Amino acid sequence: MLNPDLKLNTKTFDKDVEQVPIRKGFGQGLLKAGELDKNIVALCADLTESTQMHFFKERFPERFVEIGVAEQNLVTVASGMSAMGKFPFVSSYAMFSPGRNWEQIRTTICYNDRGVVIVGSHAGISVGPDGGTHQAVEDIALMRVLPKMIVLSPCDAIEAKKATLALAQIKKPAYLRLAREKTPIITTEETPFEIGKGNIVWQSDHGVAQVGIIATGALVHKALMVAKELEKENIKIKVLNIHTIKPLDVEAIEKLARETRAIVTVEEHQIAGGLGSAVAEYLAKVYPVPIEFVGVKDVFGQSGTPSELIEHYGMGEKDISEAVEKVLGRKV
């Protein structure tokens, strides 16, 4: 059942569940953050409406800077503005930022510990027809390896809004990963959110869980759908929503591993270097258990509809279900 303590969306499993692009939640959160803090500024690389920065631009035109198609300049200008007391949010497609400007992020932002939020929109395979050149499936790996960098991957638009507002409070180097397509709303305004703290969004109403699914981003909804279906087969699952890749909620992950002794990780990203790698790195040190990884398997993307691509690259509900069955067979 959905965790009642989290006050999640009661229509999560309905066919007519509300669907909103995760990036829209960022746009709404940035606008609210700008209303609360006059030192917040926004910079974009010629993708203002696509990345949903237009809400902020329309309300605060004097605090918005259009850099143009120059992503390396985008983050170095932001670093300079941070040094002068401003708190910049910078946005582009994830393939370009951090994809194109990673060294500038490393040197001018992280190395100098500048408070800048890098917003990578249109991340993952679900960008769809834009094709492999524009499908960022390596960005989590690029960003979580950077010292001082916080990495967030919200599961829906409401969580993205909360993540934006939370980042506006702490003013640290951070990466916020956003998806392009409409995504089912899982959380509500009352659902708790704290950077670095995962949430158990699904749990069996009786007995001990047999498998723990650790998911992030837009695929959290698919993990929930699988957990609900497998409950009918008397397979008890807990689903942990990890919206913060770094700092990782190691306490929640270890607790889940000790309880279930079998883990499945789910992400719309390369298996290498992403959430699955982060989970495995930690559990290998403290409590090794069988792990199955659902994600992109060392390949580039291609053009297609978002739903076709999710299935083609092995990240659909069927694939998650098969991973659960496989890890169950590996339990000691």
The residues annotated as belonging to the active site are 71
DSSP states of 176-214: EE--SSEEE----TTS--BTTB-EEEE--SSS--SEEEE
How far is Cα 11 from Cα 3, in angstroms, rounded to an integer?
13
Task: Confirm if 222 and 213 have CB atoms less than 8 A apart.
Answer: no
Q: Which of 274, 301, 323 is nearest to 126 (CA)?
A: 301
How far is Cα 48 from Cα 52, in angstroms, rounded to an integer?
6
Cα of 273 vs its chain's centroid, Å = 14
Q: Identify the DSSP state of 136.
A: B
322 contact partners, CB below 8 Å, separation of at least 6: none
Task: Confirm if 241 and 220 have CB atoms less than 8 A apart.
Answer: yes
b/e per residue 27-41 (b: at least 16 CB within 10 A): bbbbbbbbeeeebbb
DSSP-based three-state secondary structure for 123 = strand
